[in-house]
Amino acid sequence: MTTLLCRLAGPRCSSWRCLGAVLRGTHSRAYLLIHRDGARTLAGGSRPLTGHSRAHSRWQHTEAAEPVEVDLKRLAGGDDGIVEVLMCRHKARNALGHVFVSQMRELVSTLSNDSAVRVVVFRSLVSGVFCAGADLKERALMNNTESDLFVHGLRSLMTQIASLPMPTIAAMDGVALGGGLELALACDLRTAEHSAQMGLIETTRGLLPGAGGSQRLPRMVGITLAKELIFTGKRVGGQTALEMGLVNRAVEQNQTGDAAYREALGLAREILPQAPIAVRMAKEAMNRGVEVDISSAMAIERMCYAQVIPTRDRQEGMAAFIEKRPPRYSGE
């Protein structure tokens, strides 16, 4: 039998709640495994426990549980295949602090290897805010080296999001500034409500966009417009963002404050019926092809196309067309 001495939860915390937090990867401190033979193993809480039976474990809590700042929701029924990444750091307006970034990285890593996921929607549960950007209170406590390393990790997270194999959608119901907009830029598609405010405002803080914004924004809206937005630190609303190509869809806010999310969900539902392997390969072809010359891009397209030829989904698509019925794709 193995005993887990959990240094993450207080005496009032439920054992199973703590277990769930570990399995979701939301614990980031160390915990100690004590095996029956007396051996002790120190494990990082940033990784979920595997092969650990509830029936054969005993949890002893000595500290307060780390709050969940990023969570995962898998939709069911007709929306099976859509997964929502929920940003819920209410007290800090989803600011990109250590815990938030650690939990986001863990969830994104989990999604990257999940073939059942067809579309990912990034949304906020904090009213009026998508993501307010850097956690300036945490940043103020860092020295130059620590700040550089943290921003490097943040840049790595955005690359991790951009590299997810399935389509991703950012639903911006409210403010998306600095790193918050960089997170949205790392997604494939973006929706926003008209009153949402977004911008790369780092130059107003003596910085420049450091989590991919200085590179992704020019590729999205053009170099001249991107320079204007970054040099001035200008904020734009949802409708203006739509006109400049920064977002795919802009809608009026609704009474529940989640119009951009509703629009993103509708967009995800348009993607959901399509052949998942074909969609993933199309994303791969576009993402890689846009960075090279046209001749190399054509070679990339050929390689990606070759991946879908032997799939059952391709055969199903052809059969459905001939039989004049909707296709039923399995992702195989």
Nearest to 122 by CA among 216, 75, 174, 190: 190
Q: List the catalytic residue out of 66, 202, 268, 317.
A: 202
Distances from the Cα of 245 to the Cα of 191, 222, 236, 267, 293, angstroms: 11, 9, 12, 17, 23
Residues 108 and 159: beta-carbon distance below 8 Å: no
Report the alpha-carbon distance of residue 141 to residue 248 in Å, rounded.
Answer: 38
Task: Collect all residues with Cβ–Cβ distance below 8 Å to 10 and sequence separation of at least 6.
Answer: 61, 62, 63, 64, 65
Active site residue 182: yes
Q: List the catalytic residue out of 9, 95, 134, 192.
A: 134
Q: List the catalytic residue out of 97, 179, 213, 238.
A: 179
Burial 196-227 (b: 16+ CB within 10 A, else e): bbbbbbbeeeeeebbbbbbebbbeebeeeebe
Which amino acid appears at position 14 of this protein? Answer: S
In the beta sheet, which residues pair with residue 4? 33, 59
Report the alpha-carbon distance of residue 118 to residue 184 in Å, rounded.
Answer: 18
Residues 100 and 70: beta-carbon distance below 8 Å: yes
Residue 250: other Cβ atoms inside 10 A: 23
Active site residue 134: yes
Burial of 140 (0-12, 13-18, 19+ CB in 10 A): exposed
Q: List the catalytic residue out of 84, 106, 138, 182.
A: 182
Residues 221 and 192: beta-carbon distance below 8 Å: no
Could you tell me the two tokens for 160? 């991790």
Report the alpha-carbon distance of residue 286 to residue 165 in Å, rounded.
Answer: 12
Q: Give the H/E segment covering residue 271.
A: helix 259-271
Q: Is 19 left (phi over 0), alpha (psi -120 to 50) or beta?
A: alpha
Chain position carrying tokens 């160390």? 30
**Active-site residue list:** 134, 179, 182, 202
